[in-house]
Amino acid sequence: AGFFIKMDSIPVFARWLQYICSLKWGMNILLWNEFNESAPQLLETNDIQEDQLWLYALVLLCIFLGFRVIAAVVLARKAKAFYN
């Protein structure tokens, strides 16, 4: 998610993975909540913007729901194949 290694150090073909990682979005919200007044340079370094907090929460919710739906579909198909 770019917290321990800067995105410039990650190979280009793997950078898209940050967007499906819930850690990135959850940490953005957590860092803003913890350091918005005491360490604004930390937020700037991690490219966290206050006006996008709703977006971080929405993406986190979509990732959660998306993976739940995928898991439900896979389980339903496996159960159907098992019981038929």
Residue 77 region, left (φ>0) first, then alpha (ψ -120 to 50), else beta?
A: alpha
Q: For 38, list phi and psi in degrees, rounded to 5.
A: -85, -30
pLDDT at position 45? 84
Residue 1 has pLDDT above 80, yes or no: no
pLDDT at position 7? 79
pLDDT in tens, 15-72: 899 888 899 899 999 999 999 999 989 898 888 899 999 999 999 999 999 999 999 9
Alpha-carbon torsion (72, 78, 82, 84), positive or negative: positive
Long-range pairs, 69-76, Cβ under 8 A, ≥24: none
